[in-house]
Amino acid sequence: MNVPAIQSKAPQDQQQSLATELAAGAPDGAGGSLFAQLTGNPYFTAGFGLAGLATVGRLGQKGLTRAAYYVRRRMLVELEVTRRDRSYPWLLRWMSNHHRAEMQKIQGGVESAGQKPSKGAFESLVRRFAPRIHEFQIETGEVTRPDGRQHTQFSVVPGLGKHIIRYENAWILVNRERQGQHLDYEGQFFETIRFTTLYAHRSIFERIFLEANKLKEEAEEGKTIIYHSRGMDWERFGEPKRKRPLDSVVLEDGVKERMVEDMQEFIDKREWYSDRGIPYRRGYLLYGPPGTGKSSFIEALAGHLEFNIAMLNVSQRGLTDDKLAYLLTRVPARTIVLLEDADAAWVNRRSVGEDGYAGASVTFSGLLNALDGVGSAEERIIFLTTNHVERLDEALIRPGRVDLTLRIGNATEYQIGKLWDRFYGEMDPKGAGRERFMAKVSSLGLVDAISPAELQGLFLYNKDKVEGAIASLDELAAMHAHVARKMTRGADEDVRE
Ligand SMILES: Nc1ncnc2c1ncn2[C@@H]1O[C@H](COP(=O)(O)OP(=O)(O)O)[C@@H](O)[C@H]1O
Ligand SMILES: [Mg+2]
C-alpha cells in the first residue's frame, strides 16, 4: 500500500500548484475559474486525493495479486519432498547443520567486529535479519557404540512450520507441513517439506541435495543398515551398525572365500541374467547348530560386499501374503533379505478358527509365492538360516529359491586353533599354550562338539589368562556332557510319546 500512497501525493501537489497558478492568472483575480475553485478547496482536494488513492490502491492490490501470482509462477521454484522419500531425514539434518554453521558465522562475525557491550543494536539487527529456524524438534535414535553398548542419540531438526534459511546467496523458505490428522499405516503423520526460492537460484537445490546426501554417506560409511519390515515398508532399525569384518568370523578353511566368490560373481553378472531374461535372484541357506556364526557371517558378508540387511519377519502381526509379496518388491537397493530361523517361522501359528479365519498371517505358500512368484521383485539376494534343516519344507529350499546351501557346524580343530590365536596369539607367541589347549580339547572330545560361541564365552571369561582357558575346558566338557544327557533323555521321551 505504500507505493500507491507515495504516487498519489505527487499529483495532489501538482494539482494544488496548478490551481494556485490558475487562480493567480484569473482576469478578475477574485472568483477564479470553476476548476480553480474546485481544486483550491482543500476538502475537495482531500476527497479527490482519497478517491484517487483508492483507485490506485485497488489497481495496486490487483496488480500485487497478479504480481504475486506471476512471481510464484515465473520467478519462484518450489521443491517438495515427502516423508517417504529416503532423503527426508537427511534434509532435516542438513538444515540444522547448516543453521548451526550460519549462527556460528554470525556470532563469530559480531565478535570479530569488536563489538563491545553496546553491540545490542547491531546484534539484534543481525539476529533479526539472519536466516532462522524458529522451532526445533528432537529426534531420538539408538546408536551402538564400538563396545557394543546401546546409546541413545538425539539430533535436533527443524520442527513443523515455516523457516527461512540462507544458502549461498539465496533465501529459501522452508515449510515443513503435516498433511491431515491421519496416521499412515506406519503410525506416522504424512509430512512434507517444501523449499521455495527464486527461480534464478534454482540450482542450489541440487547442491543442497548433494550436501544432504554427503551427510548421509558420511554417517553410513563403514556401516551396515539394518531394516525391519514395518507396515508395508522397510524401516531402519536403530542407527547403522559398524560393519562386521569378515576376519572376525572364523569358519572352516575356504568357506568364507567360496561364499564371497559366489556372491561377487552373482553381483557382477547382472547383465548376464537380464540378457537371458532370468530373474536376477540368488538364495542362500545357512544351517547348523546355534552359535556357530551363521548370523555373524551374513552380517560380515553384507559389510564386505557393501550391502545392507533387511530382516524379514514372517510372523509379524498383521502381515498377510499380499503384504509380504509387496514388501519383497520394495527391498531397498543393495540389501540382503534375511529370514532367520526359517523353520520356526510357521510354528505357534494361530490355528484357523471355526469361521475359517486365521487372523492376518502369512501362509507357507504365500511365502513361496513372494519368493518367486510372477509379481516378486526381479532383483534379490536372500539368506535363510536354520538350526533344524530337517524341519524345513523341501519346497522352500528347492533350486531357484535356494541356490547354495552351506552347513556351518560346530568348531573344527582348524577353527578352534584360529579362535585361540585371535584371543591369545600375542600372549602365547611360541604356541606352547595353544598346543596344550588343543590336546586337551581333543582328549575331552570337544572337537566338532562345541560351538564357536561357547568357545568365545570361555575365552572371554579367561581374558588374558592362558592357564585359566585351559583349565576351564573341564567345566565346558562337563556342561556339555550334562546337556547331551538331557538332550538324549528328551529325545527318548519324544520317542515314547
Ligand atoms: N564362527 C564364528 N567365528 C567367530 N565368532 C563366532 C562364530 N560363531 C559364533 N560366533 C560368536 O558367537 C555369537 C553368536 O553367533 P551367531 O552368529 O549369532 O550364531 P548363529 O547365528 O549361528 O546362532 C556371536 O557373538 C559371534 O561373534
Ligand atoms: Mg543366528
What is the DSSP secondary structure assignment for residue 369, as one 8-state letter?
Answer: H
Contact 228, 216 (CB under 8 A): no
Which residues touch 414 (CB under 8 Å, ≥6 apart)? 252, 253
CA distances from 398 to 321, 371, 380, 393 (A): 20, 12, 16, 9
List the residue whose alpha carbon is closest to atom 27 of ligand 1.
296
Lookup: cell for 94: 542438513
- Highest-confidence segment of 46-60, 95-109, 284-298, 335-349: 284-298
pLDDT of 448:
95
CA of 410 to the centre of ligand 1 (A): 10
Give which of 353, 346, 348, 389 is closest to 368, Cα–Cα. Answer: 346
As a whole number of angstroms, the distance between CA 135 and CA 151 comes to 25
pLDDT of 133:
62
Instruction: Tell me what percent of the chain is helix, strand and coil, each rounded to the nearest 5.
Output: 50, 20, 30
pLDDT band at 130 (very low <50, low <70, confident <90, very high): low
pLDDT of 226:
94
Place of cell 475559474: 33
Taking the CA of 408 as reference, the closest ligand is: 1
Domains of the chain in start order, with CATH, are: 2-75 (no CATH), 83-221 (no CATH), 241-407 (3.40.50.300), 413-496 (no CATH)
List the residue whose alpha carbon is closest to atom 8 of ligand 1.
293
Lowest mean pLDDT among 23-37, 338-352, 380-394: 23-37
Which residues touch 379 (CB under 8 Å, ≥6 apart)? 270, 280, 281
CA distances from 55 to 7, 11, 12, 62, 250 (A): 12, 14, 14, 11, 87
- Report the run of H or E that residue 111 belongs to, with start and end: helix 88-112
Place of cell 576376519: 247
Rounded to 10 deg, the angle between the 452-461 and 466-496 helix axes is 140
pTM, entire model: 0.67
Residue 260 identity:
V
Question: How do residues 84-125 score in pLDDT, each as one tens digit?
Answer: 777 888 888 888 888 888 877 766 655 554 444 455 665 565
Q: Tell me: pLDDT of 29 over 50.
A: no
Backbone φ, ψ for residue 58 (5° rounding): -60, -45
CA of 435 to the centre of ligand 2 (A): 31
Lookup: cell for 176: 515443513
pLDDT of 25:
39
Residue 366 identity:
G
Which residues touch 303 (CB under 8 Å, ≥6 apart)? 224, 243, 244, 245, 246
Lookup: cell for 452: 564357536
List the residue whose alpha carbon is closest to atom 4 of ligand 1.
249
Taking the CA of 289 as reference, the closest ligand is: 1
Give the residue with greater pLDDT, 309 vs 345: 309
Place of cell 539487527: 125
Q: Which atom of ligand 1 is nearest to the CA of 286?
A: 22
Give which of 299, 321, 317, 316 is closest to 308, Cα–Cα. Answer: 299
pLDDT band at 393 (very low <50, low <70, confident <90, very high): confident
Assign 3-class secondary structure to 321-346: HHHHHHHHHCCCCCEEEEECCCCHHH
Over the chain, what is the mean pLDDT?
78
Contact 260, 305 (CB under 8 A): yes
Which residues touch 325 (CB under 8 Å, ≥6 apart)? 366, 369, 370, 373, 375, 376
List the residue whose alpha carbon is closest to atom 16 of ligand 1.
293
What is the DSSP secondary structure assignment for residue 80, as one 8-state letter?
Answer: E
Give the residue with greater pLDDT, 36 vs 279: 279
Task: List residues near ligand 1 (CB under 6 A).
Answer: 249-251, 290-296, 452-453, 456
pLDDT band at 37 (very low <50, low <70, confident <90, very high): very low
List the residue whose alpha carbon is closest to atom 9 of ligand 1.
293
CA of 307 to the centre of ligand 1 (A): 20
CA distances from 224 to 41, 238, 367 (A): 84, 11, 26
Give which of 384, 277, 382 is closest to 327, Cα–Cα. Answer: 382
CA of 487 to the centre of ligand 2 (A): 21
What is the DSSP secondary structure assignment for residue 33, as one 8-state letter?
Answer: -
Taking the CA of 419 as reference, the closest ligand is: 1
pLDDT of 10:
39
